[in-house]
Structure 1
C-alpha cells in the first residue's frame, strides 16, 4: 500500500459514467447489480452513476434522475454523484438558473448527494455561478478542470486565482483529459493547487501513455485526497486508472476482497475490453503526447479497420487548433483520407 494515511484518501469509482463512452451509457442489469454488490465490499467513498441532462437518445446512465438513482442507491452503501457538462449551460440562451434547472430536470438532492461539473480550465470564471446555483439547490459541488495539462504558467495562475475565490466548490479535480501528463507534471500541478486552495484537490487519470496508475499514486503523494478509478480501467479513449490496480495500492485490500474485485472485472469488464478495445496503445500514446482529443482515436479505432500506424498518420494532419476539440466533421475527413 502507498505510504499515505488511508483515511485521507477518498476513492471515487466512475465506471458507469466514463465507461459509458463505449456503451452509450447502457449496461446490462446483471453487470450493474454485481457492480453495486462489489462496490459495497470495497473502500470506495463515492460512485458516479452517470451523466445528467444528456439527450434521451443516449443510454440509461446518460440522463440520471432521482428516481433512477434511487433504484441503485437503495442498495449502495456509499455516496452517489452524477456529472454534468458546464458547456451545456454556458451554451444555453436561457437564464442560468433555468438552464441549470433544465439540465438537472428530475434530479434532487437525496440519493445523489453531489454533482461534478466538468469544464474546460479556462471556463472556471464563467462557471462559478453554475456551481453557486447547484449549491443553492442543495448539492455538494465538485469541479473537474479539463485539459489543464495544456495550460501554460500564466493560464494556470489565472485558474488558481479563480479557484481561490470560489466558495461553493468542495473539490477541484486535476483532470488529465488528454492522457498527456507525466508524473512530474502531476506532482507540480497537484502540489500547487493543494498548497493554495482550501477545498480538497482530486485527480482523474487517463492511460494514453500508460501512466494512469503511477500518476494517481503520484497525485495522492502530492496532496490529492480524491482519486478516480474505473473497473478494468474502462473509460473514454485509452481508459482510466483501473480500480483493481488502484485500490490494493492506495487503500489496502485483504486477499478475499481483492480476489472478489478481480473476479468481477474478469467476468464483466474483460469481455467489454475485448469488444471495445480501450487501453494504452501507440495511437493513444501519440494522441496523449500531442494533446489530441481522445475521441478521435476511439472513433478511428472502432471497427478495427485502421491500424495504429494509419491512425497516427491521420492524426498528424490535425492543426493545433483542431487537436484539442473533437469535431465530427473533421473525424469524417480523417476517416475518408487516403494515405496510400
Structure 2
C-alpha cells in the first residue's frame, strides 16, 4: 500500500496561498515519522505559460520553506507535484514542449521531486499523452488522475480506460471523486474495471461531501486499490478529503504513533478549520447527491 498525503496542496487550495513556513516545517517533521510514503508538495505550472488556478507556482513560493527543514539530506517520504493537463496548450507538440519546460524546472529544484501526477478529465485522456511521455522520458515517475470519473457512462468509462492503458507505464492511475458523489458500490465497480483494463496500480482520491471519504477509501482498498490519497484533518476546499489521521488509525497505527500528528492538528489544522470551516455542510451534501459542483447548489435553492 502507498499512502500519499496531499495536505500542502489541498491546504493551499483552501486558503488561496502557500501554507506558513512554520506549518510546513512542523508538517514535514511529522510526515517523516508516521509512515507517509509520498508527500504532494503542490501544483506546478508551465513557466512559459499562464499560471492558471488559484495558486502560484510551487517552486519559487514553497520550496524555500521546505528547505528550512530539509536543507541537504532528506530520508523521509518521496516528493510529488501535481500538473493539470487542462492548463497545457492544445496539441501534442505544444503540450510536449510545455512538459519539457516543467521537467527542467522540477529537475533543477533543490528538493528531489521524483513523481509527477497529471490530472485530466476522464473524457480528455488523450490530452495527457504527450506530457506524460515527455515527463517519463525525463526520468520522473508519472501518475494519471482521472477527474470527475463518477460522471462517466459505461461506454465513456470503457473508452477512458482503453486510452489510459495506451499511455504506457504509469506508477498509478487515480480515480478522483471530484464532485464528492461516489457511492461505495460505484467505487468498487470503478476500481475493478480499472484494474481489469489498465496495467498499473489503482489509487483513490475521495472527497467527503456525503461523509463517505474514509469509507470509500477503505472500500477501494478492499477492491484492490493500492494507492490512497489523504490530507491531515481532511483539509481541502468544500467538504475536504479523506483524513490522514483516521486512515492511519484504521490501518493499525498505535495511538502513541499518532501522537505527533494529533499534536500537529491541534497546533495548526484545528485553528485553520475554525477559520475556513471545510466540512460536509448542506451545500456540500446536496452537491454530492446531485453530482454537481458545490457552486451550482444555490441554483437548487440551498444556501
Report the more deviating stretch, 27-36 or 121-130: 121-130
1:39 aligns with 2:25: no
Tell me what 1:55 maps to: 51
Q: In 2, distance between residues paired with 1:255 and 1:174? A: 30
Partner of 1:145: helix, strand, or coil? strand
Structure 1 residue 66, shift from structure 2 partner: 11
Q: In 1, distance between residues paired with 2:39 and 2:130? A: 25
Report the structure number with the largest CA radius of gyration: 1
Structure 1 residue 103, shift from structure 2 partner: 4.4
Q: In 2, distance between residues paired with 1:93 and 1:228? A: 29
Q: In 2, distance between residues paired with 1:279 and 1:11? A: 22
Structure 1 residue 197, shift from structure 2 partner: 2.1
Q: In 1, distance between residues paired with 2:9 and 2:138? A: 22
Structure 1 residue 242, shift from structure 2 partner: 0.5
Tell me what 1:289 maps to: 289
Q: 1:105 to 1:52 in 2, by over 3 A?
A: farther
Count of aligned residue pairs for this structure pair = 293
Q: 1:245 to 1:67 in 2, by over 3 A?
A: closer
Q: In 1, distance between residues paired with 2:218 and 2:146? A: 19
Give yes or no for contact 1:66–1:111 (8 Å, CA) kept in 2: no
Structure 1 residue 59, shift from structure 2 partner: 5.1
Deviations 1:127-171 (A, max 9, x none): 212110111111110011000000000000001111222213221
Partner of 1:122: helix, strand, or coil? coil
Give yes or no for contact 2:202–2:225 (8 Å, CA) kept in 1: yes
Query: What pairs up with 1:95-174 in 2 under 5 angstroms?
Result: 95-104=94-103, 106-108=105-107, 111-174=112-175
Give yes or no for contact 1:66–1:108 (8 Å, CA) kept in 2: no
Q: In 2, distance between residues paired with 1:124 and 1:28? A: 35
1:211 aligns with 2:212: yes
Instruction: Give 1:18's match in structure 2, choosing from 10, 14, 27.
Output: 10
Give yes or no for contact 1:17–1:25 (8 Å, CA) kept in 2: no
1:189 aligns with 2:181: no
Tell me what 1:320 maps to: none
- TM-score, length of structure 2 as denominator length: 0.89
Deviations 1:166-216 (A, max 9, x none): 213221000000000011110110122123321110000000010000000
Q: In 1, distance between residues paired with 2:75 and 2:6? A: 14
Gaps of 5+ in 1: 1-8, 298-311, 318-333
Partner of 1:95: helix, strand, or coil? helix
Q: In 1, distance between residues paired with 2:186 and 2:216? A: 9
Q: In 1, distance between residues paired with 2:226 and 2:209? A: 23
Give yes or no for contact 2:100–2:135 (8 Å, CA) kept in 1: no
RMSD (CA atoms): 2.6
Q: In 2, distance between residues paired with 1:67 and 1:286? A: 35
Report the more deviating stretch, 87-96 or 236-245: 87-96
Instruction: Give 2:63's match in structure 1, choosing from 68, 82, 94.
Output: 68
- TM-score, length of structure 1 as denominator length: 0.80
